[in-house]
Each structure stands twice: as C-alpha cells, then as structure tokens.
Chains A and B, each alone.
Chain A
Amino acid sequence: MSLAVDIQKTLITRERKFELSVSFTGNCQRIVLFGPSGAGKTLTLQAVAGLLKPDRGTITLGGEPLFDARRGIDVPARSRGAAYLFQDYALFPHLNVRQNVGFSLRQGWLNPRAREVTRAVEYWLDAFELHAVAGNYPAELSGGQRQRVALARALAAQPRILLLDEPFAALDANMRERMRRELSDLQTRLDIPMVLITHDEADVAVFGDQVVHVDQGRVQNVAHDEALAVRDVSR
C-alpha cells in the first residue's frame, strides 16, 4: 500500500513557533519515521490519523485521498481506517482488558459489558496471550501487557494501516527487545502496512524497509537502505 504525505502546518505556542513541512511517499509495508524528539514525527503521524489538521497539502492512502486542503477533503479520524498506537498506549482506565480490546467492535453509545464474550475479542485475547488478565484494568497491568492490549485493541478495528508512535519507548530494555520481535512477527503474519516513528536506531534496523529521516519539521532524506539512513544521521 502506498502512503503519500505532503503537508504543511504552523504551530504557535507561547514559547515557540514550529513549522512542519513534511513530504514523502512510502510504498513499503514498513515505513519508519526517524529523527530526534521534537522533530515533528508525532505531528506527522497525527495528521495521517486525522487527529491533526494540516494548514495545506494532501495525504493519500492507497490511492484514496484522506486529506486535500485545496479540494476541501478531510476524512474524519473515525473513517480513515488508521489504527494509532499511542506512546503511552492510551488504554481506557475505566474499562477492563476485554472491554478495551472490544471497544471498536461496538459502535453505539454503550461500552461493551465487562464479561461480554465475542468471537473477535476472544481471537485477539488469544493472539496476544491476554486471557489471564482479561478481567483486569489497565492500572493493574505491566508495561508489556499494556502494549499488547493497545495492539489488540487497535487491530480488532481491522485497520488498513497501523500507526505506531514510539511503541517501545515506555518499556525497559529486555521487554523492548521482546516486543520488537513480537511486533515484527505480527506485522509479517498479518501483512498490514505500518508506519512507526522512533528516535532509536535499533527500531530502524528491525522495521526500516523504508526510512524517512525527519528533523526540525522537515524530511531530510528518504532511504530504502536502513544502514545508509542511520549512517547518514549519525555522521
């Protein structure tokens, strides 16, 4: 699937003015946005998800325009089919694991019931080995479990693309290694396109089929060879 992003956005806060001007075309299943914190990676990812509205430009996913300032197209976040994994996972604290995973499977005004068993939820609980903690609340889970719940919740919505914001930053070193492998296997198995943002070169080595190097709100270069990209950055 191809993802084409060409957006501009000016953000003004009391302390500073930030100009985001990002343009790249991704045509791999694994795209990494790589750069230091504060470079504008998260803003770019939020724009793709529909959580941030650019001032100008276009965003196209698989040939379908998600955003086009000139033509007045702005598909709402809920209809973009883009699952977003937040840095600190953003699990719903008032819902247990089962309800979090099944959150998107019920579209009405009521949350799934605490003990509601549906085939889709069971499938994702199995896939992420979450059965033992299905009745627990997010505050009672470990970092690795929280990430699994967040992934299961995102994938249960059957997204067209998976957007991951620094998915391993909140984990300790051992867990980070393990979850990296899990996510890599999962992506291969599901064959779902993903965009991952990171400032960690180890993530680039595992997921960087295509590396978009972002710094100071701009794309510095796009490389298909992760080694080259990293070398370029650390020069």
Chain B
Amino acid sequence: MQDAWIPLALSLKVASWATALDLLFGVAAALALARWRSGARDVVDALLTLPLVMPPTVLGYYLLVLLGRRGPIGAWLDTFGVRLVFTWEGAVIASMIAAFPLVLKSARAAFEATDPQLEHAARTLGLSETAIFFRVTLPLAARGILAGALLSFARALGEFGATLMLAGNLPGRTQTLSVAVYSAVQAGDDHTANVLVLVTSVVCVTVLLVAGRLVPQHTLSTSR
C-alpha cells in the first residue's frame, strides 16, 4: 500500500502542472485562433491538434528527438542546465503536449460561442479591451474552458506512452501511476497492480465529482 502513494503523488503533481500550463497556453492560443481572420488559421489549428490523433509513442519519440541532450531544443536548454529527459519535468512536458488539444478545442469553441454584441456593449460602457476580456469574454467562456481543463487533467493523469518515452520509468522519480501499473503487471506483482488500479479509479471519480461542483450555479442556469 505504501508503494502506491509515491506514484500517486507524482501523478497528481505532474497532471496538475500539465493542466495549469495547458490552461495558460491553451486559452491564449484559442483566443488567437478565434479572433484571427486568416487562411493559415486552419493549418495552425490542425498542427496544434496533432497530439490528439498521433500515437503517444510517436509523440514521445518526437519529444525525445527535440528535447534530448543532442536535440535542437534540448541542447539549447542544456546550456542553462535544464534537462527534461528522465526527469519529472519531462513527464510534465509530455503530459502537457498530449493533453493540450483538449483545452484548445474546448476554449476555442467557448470563445466562438460568446455573443460579440456583449463585448460591444462593454465597449460602449467605457471598458478597455483587457477589462472586457476579464469581465465579459472569460467569464462567459469559463464553463467551456473548465470542461476542457478537466478533460486535460484526466488525459494528463492517464498519459503513458509519451511519458514513458521522454521521462522513462524511474521508481520514485518519473514512475507515474499508469507507468507503475504497467511495471507491476510486467513484474507479476498482482497485489501492487490491484492497489494501483483501485487508487487510479478512485482518483478519477473524485476528480469528476469535484469538477462538477466547481462550475458556478448561475452560469449553469443562464447558459441555456
């Protein structure tokens, strides 16, 4: 039982970081895509959606090539002493990229569904564009963004392929829940596997229940 807590804590840490970063970049990218009037928009959207359809191992391989110590980005990061391969930060990057399209898609749909007339109204009431974003656009899109963040957290929690490729399977350092389950089964350790699977299931149900409560009530009643 003791053994289950370490990968659980690591998984929660990795998934939380990945979701936070996805929220930041996903919302920014979604806003840009929703406002951008250009033919290149669909190409950029397709590129950013790739992680959703690519096999996670292929994604992981790309990341390994790019972020490895001899990779173009990895070599540059290495000059600052930052190493992503075989570290928990690497697991964050892998989960973040894998779950990114989920936030992007939900947030873009949410931004495109907000009535531009409400932003016009705020403009005539004297608000700056930044204030309009925080007071009108973002609150109206919040429900969709939250739904995306929830999916992204679940995806990051379950991330296996890309994480294994980039961060490896180091117990206590990069061995997340889903990787630990695989290791336990491979080693024939059914007891640990059972515990880990049970813990994972409980965490997933808890996440879903908590997220259901996060959505403000009046947003639910008015966004029919």
Interface residues of A (CB under 8 A from B): 49-51, 76-80, 82-84, 86, 88, 90, 92-94, 96, 103-104, 107-111, 137-139, 153-154, 157
Report the stretch among B4-12, B65-73, B119-127, B187-195 that lies at the interface.
B119-127
| B126/A107 in contact, CB under 8 A | yes
Q: A90-B117, A90-B121, A94-B140 are in contact. Are A104 and B223 (CB under 8 A)?
A: no
A62 to B153, CA, bound (A): 56
| B127/A107 in contact, CB under 8 A | yes
Q: A137-B222, A139-B221 are in contact. Are A103 and B134 (CB under 8 A)?
A: no
| B121/A139 in contact, CB under 8 A | no
| B134/A110 in contact, CB under 8 A | yes
Q: A83-B124, A94-B222 are in contact. List 6 more A-B contacts (CB 8 A).
A: A78-B123, A82-B124, A84-B121, A92-B122, A94-B139, A104-B127
Chain A interface main SS type: loop
A197 to B161, CA, bound (A): 61
Contacts of A94 in B (CB 8 A): 139-140, 218-219, 222
CB<8 Å pairs between A and B, sample of 30 = A49-B124, A50-B124, A51-B120, A78-B123, A78-B124, A78-B126, A79-B126, A82-B124, A84-B120, A86-B120, A86-B121, A90-B117, A90-B121, A92-B121, A92-B136, A93-B118, A93-B140, A93-B223, A94-B140, A94-B222, A96-B218, A103-B125, A103-B135, A104-B126, A107-B127, A109-B131, A110-B134, A139-B221, A154-B124, A157-B125
Contacts of B223 in A (CB 8 A): 93
The answer to the question of B37 belonging to the interface, with a C-beta cut-off of 8 Å to chain A, is: no
| B118/A137 in contact, CB under 8 A | no
| A90/B125 in contact, CB under 8 A | no
Interface residues of B (CB under 8 A from A): 115, 117-118, 120-128, 130-131, 134-136, 139-140, 218-219, 221-224
- Closest Cβ of chain A: how far from B106's Cβ, in Å? 18
List the A residue with the shortest CB-CB distance to B122.
Answer: A103
List the A residue with the shortest CB-CB distance to B123.
Answer: A77
The 6 closest A-B pairs by CB, nearest first: A104-B125, A77-B123, A90-B121, A93-B222, A84-B124, A109-B134
A80 to B126, CA, bound (A): 8
Contacts of A153 in B (CB 8 A): 125
Partner pick for A92 among B118, B128, B130, CB 8 A cutoff: B118
A114 to B219, CA, bound (A): 14
A84 to B119, CA, bound (A): 12
| A86/B117 in contact, CB under 8 A | yes
Contacts of A103 in B (CB 8 A): 122, 125, 135
Contacts of A79 in B (CB 8 A): 126
Contacts of A104 in B (CB 8 A): 125-127
